[in-house]
Homo-oligomer: A and B are copies of this chain.
Amino acid sequence: MIVYEGLTSDEVDRIFRALADATRRDILRRTMAAEASVSRLAAAYDMSFAAVQKHVAVLDEAGLVTKQPRGRERIIRGNPETIRKAQDLLDRYEEIWRCRIDQLDALLAED
């Protein structure tokens, strides 16, 4: 069931859910600035490697980062394309609001 921007409702769920955690947002920030391996990322946080690994998986399943094998490492990179899709979704809500205001203005202008 396609909803918008070629995204299903579940995919949108995953994107916003992935963004709803401070650790994941920080991982996203880091990997947008520079690629990093999972273990490199894990070193930055006060939690187990497996926990960070899971956070990366959530971001990956949302399409917010990509995971590319390189030797024994997995290189994580932020994916600006999905960020853009999220922005487009938010734009729609603003647009809906503007339409309402325009209608109100039109109504008032009838006087």
Binds B, one of A46-54, A66-74, A78-86: A78-86
Q: Which of A1-34 contact B (CB under 8 A)?
A: 9, 12-17, 19-22, 25, 28-29, 32-34
Contact of A16 among B17, B92, B94 (CB under 8 A): B17
Chain A interface, DSSP helix/strand/loop, else mixed: helix
- Size category of the binding interface on chain A: 20 to 34
Q: Point out the residue from B22, B83, B86, B87 that lies within 8 Å of A13, measured CB to CB.
A: B22
Which residues of chain B are near A44, meaning CB under 8 Å?
none
Q: Please, which residues of chain B bring their CB within 8 A of the CB of A97?
A: 32-33, 78, 80, 83
Q: Footprint of B on A, CB under 8 Å? A: 9, 12-17, 19-22, 25, 28-29, 32-34, 78, 80, 83-84, 86-87, 90-94, 96-97, 99-100
What are 19 of the A-B contact pairs (CB < 8 Å)? Answer: A12-B22, A14-B20, A16-B16, A16-B17, A16-B20, A17-B17, A17-B20, A28-B93, A29-B93, A29-B96, A32-B93, A32-B96, A32-B100, A33-B96, A33-B100, A34-B100, A78-B97, A83-B90, A83-B93
